[in-house]
Structure 1
Amino acid sequence: MIGERITYRTADGVRIPGTWRHAFIRNGDCYFLTDLFIYADGLINCWDLVTLEEFQEKLRSGWVATSLPDGAEASAHDLAGWKFSEPRTWLTPDLLVAEIRDTIDQLNGRPDSTGRCLAAVDTFLADRTEENRAAARAAFLAIPVSLRRYALGDMDQKDWPLRVLVAGPGGRTYMPHDQRITQESYDNAVAYFEDRARWIAKRSMRVPADGPVTPHAPAVQLYQSCTDKPEAAPGKRGLRNDYPAPIVIGEVSYPSVAHAYWALSVTQPEVRAAIVTAETAYSARKLAAGAPRRAGWEHARTAVMTSLLRAKFDQHPELAEILLATDDATLIYDDMDSGFWGDNAGRGRNWTGRLLELVRSELHARRAGLSGL
């Protein structure tokens, strides 16, 4: 189960999604607690990037350890060191490989062993032949034993209805302590799956209160640009703060949002005046960089920028249309000089992009007659 353990690696410029899980690696006489990184293309990093077949060899050699000898030394690198005393482990090499195969299926959006089992169960319930029951039972037993209890996503019943259904009346489950399945238990299991099917069908037909779920529009990248003069058709360059779209704030006309932002950030009137008349947004930024900031500017700057963006798109309807045309896309704003305002290849906070999305929503609300609420 991947949960929120999401990572990736880059191969030939392609982002390969992955996840990780804990494991022990035996290097020399010491067992190191570390992470196995598992990727969608089937490669596994166990201190070395290997295929699944090569990983199985690592298991056979004991490099990846699923059994831990009493008294062996262990280490969590620079965190801690200890010796095992009466260690107990639950994994076997075969079980670990089976879980990793499931993980690779999940990373690729394919049915894993649980998905294949539930599909076989649906086939059996639609046509209850012993052949179909045997296929469902084989699919169920193909789920790693450590994951079977989670197959139904029901932490009250766990896998009990599955065990009963695939065993059939008079049959035995894979659990040695289970009694032979009675007709009553079997009928209850069938009723469970019938109720489950109705619940799933009802859930799939339910329309969320906020409207049907729609795919995300492709993200829009607002790349760094150097546009010094207004253009007849600026395209997405017109959404950038340094695009020369004059805005009036109070009684002052600023050549661009960037000019206004930097002018309002400084305390000295003479520097502010110089920023207003700077030839480019880059020059305005440079002037502001050497001047004292207003007190508390870092806490107020997002509110200021929001006001400036609202003014820009109110005063330039043609640019507002360009912003509205981005639909509901995530707006990714590049800013080489700021990890606060720019996304910068995922390392920044992308506040400009986020505020543009906010203003876009306000424009849509106004168009829908909802702006006065």
Structure 2
Amino acid sequence: MIGKRITHRTVDGVQIPGTWRHAFIRNGRYFLTDLFIYADGLIDCWGLVTVEEFEEKLRTGWVATSFPDGAEASAHDLARWKFSGSRSRLTPELVVAEVRDTIDQLNKRPDSTGRCLAAVDDFLADRTEENRAAAHTAFMAIPFSRRRYALGDMDSKDWPLRVLVAGPGGRTYLPSDPPVSQENYARALAYFEDRARWTAEYEARVPVDGPEASYAPAVHLHHPDPKRPVADPGRLGLRNGYPAPITVGEVVYPSVTHAYWALSVTQPDVRSAITAAETAAAACELAAGATRREGWEDVRIAVMTRLLRAKYDQHPELAEILLATDGATLVHDDLNSTYWGDNGGRGRNWAGRLLELVRSELHMRRLGVPGL
């Protein structure tokens, strides 16, 4: 299970998604460490290896699943101990199966559980013994440690599954289970019929507050900023450095970028030079050599929000361009900042996120929400 354990490694500028799990590596003594698994099929067990090479690491005990009494172990800089009467549910085969499932999940492909449930759907649609046998094979291919979670139901666990694929009179994989009675088989069938109804209702539900994610394609606001206004700027006009003058107080700034950097400094001469800079890029360069206003990092988001509101209030034609992006995610590049820019997924994209906020405010104003 990946859960919230999400990481990545970067290859040629591309992020390869991954996750991790705990493992013991035997290098002289046993070390409790993290095993990193990536979507491209590589596993980091103190060195990147393929799945096949990982199997060899398990076979030789480099990645350990059993621990002899008296063997020394260490959790780096935390503790050291010796094993005594240790027990582990893992086997090399089980670890490999779980890792293969994890790689499928990282690639958003059906893992062994997904393949099993698809085979069960085939059987329920056409209840032949051939389809039951296929479902049984797919169920047994789920790692033993994951079978109880296959239905995502911790009350029933995998009981309906193991009864369904065994069939009336059959035996499940658990030796303690009695032969499947007709009554229990009927209960299992009823469970899957109810499950299909629950699933259909869940998928058809409409969130009370609207969609949780935009269906509109993301809009990428590429660098660099233009040096002068154009007749029909399109989405280029949404760049913070686009030359759309804004009035803040008694000062007219050539762009949001000019205003932001001018307000970030306290020296009047530097502020004037930034305001008079020929381009947004030149304003950034001048600001880079100046000292920021004390506490600037605590107010910069609020300042940028007000500047963006001023831009779209004072330039209705640009506000229409922003509104036309509907609910799209706005991805803003900023070569000078991973704070304001997305920059290939390496930045926080605050400029894009604040544009989405201002867009929502424009929609609210147009809608005329009472009391606001």
Q: TM-score of the superposition, structure 2-length normalised?
A: 0.88
State the one-letter code of the partner of 1:175.
L
Q: Deviations over 1:57-81 (max 9, x none)?
A: 2221112111111111222333333
Alignment of structure 1 residues 5-84 onto 2, 5 Å: 5-27=5-27, 29-84=28-83
CA distance in 2, matches of 1:310, 1:123: 55
CA distance in 1, matches of 2:311, 2:199: 48
CA distance in 1, matches of 2:47, 2:292: 50
The residue number in structure 2 matching 1:326 is 325
Q: Deviations over 1:210-247 (max 9, x none)?
A: 34577644433334425332222334442222222111
Greater mean alpha carbon deviation, residues 272-281 or residues 59-68: 272-281
SS across alignment from 1:147: helix
CA distance in 1, matches of 2:98, 2:216: 34
SS across alignment from 1:16: strand
Q: Give 1:116 shift.
A: 1.8
State the one-letter code of the partner of 1:239.
L
Query: What are the ranges of 5 or more consecutive residues in structure 1 without an aligned counterpart?
Result: none
| Aligned CA distance change for structure 1 residues 86 and 285 (closer, same or farther; 3 Å) | same
Q: What is the RMSD computed on CA atoms of the aligned residues? A: 2.7
Alignment of structure 1 residues 1-373 onto 2, 5 Å: 1-27=1-27, 29-211=28-210, 216-225=215-224, 227-267=226-266, 269=268, 271-285=270-284, 296-370=295-369, 373=372
Q: Give 1:271 shift.
A: 4.9
SS across alignment from 1:5: coil
SS across alignment from 1:42: coil
Greater mean alpha carbon deviation, residues 6-15 or residues 249-258: 6-15
SS across alignment from 1:146: helix
Q: Give 1:156 shift.
A: 0.7
Q: TM-score of the superposition, structure 1-length normalised?
A: 0.88
Greater mean alpha carbon deviation, residues 50-59 or residues 346-355: 346-355
Greater mean alpha carbon deviation, residues 312-321 or residues 302-311: 312-321
| Aligned CA distance change for structure 1 residues 370 and 242 (closer, same or farther; 3 Å) | same
Q: Give 1:289 shift.
A: 5.9
CA distance in 1, matches of 2:17, 2:293: 44
| Aligned CA distance change for structure 1 residues 14 and 371 (closer, same or farther; 3 Å) | farther
CA distance in 2, matches of 1:342, 1:45: 31
CA distance in 2, matches of 1:41, 1:274: 50
| Aligned CA distance change for structure 1 residues 130 and 74 (closer, same or farther; 3 Å) | same
- Residues 31 and 75 in structure 2, CA contact (< 8 A), matched pair in contact too: yes
| Aligned CA distance change for structure 1 residues 320 and 205 (closer, same or farther; 3 Å) | same
Question: How many pairs are equivalent?
Answer: 372
CA distance in 1, matches of 2:116, 2:344: 41
Greater mean alpha carbon deviation, residues 105-114 or residues 333-342: 333-342
State the one-letter code of the partner of 1:341.
W
- Residues 18 and 37 in structure 2, CA contact (< 8 A), matched pair in contact too: yes
Query: What are the ranges of 5 or more consecutive residues in structure 2 without an aligned counterpart?
Result: none
- Residues 261 and 308 in structure 1, CA contact (< 8 A), matched pair in contact too: yes
CA distance in 2, matches of 1:198, 1:30: 53
Q: Name the % identity.
A: 75
Q: Give 1:148 shift.
A: 0.5
Q: Give 1:30 shift.
A: 1.4
State the one-letter code of the partner of 1:123.
D
- Residues 365 and 371 in structure 1, CA contact (< 8 A), matched pair in contact too: no
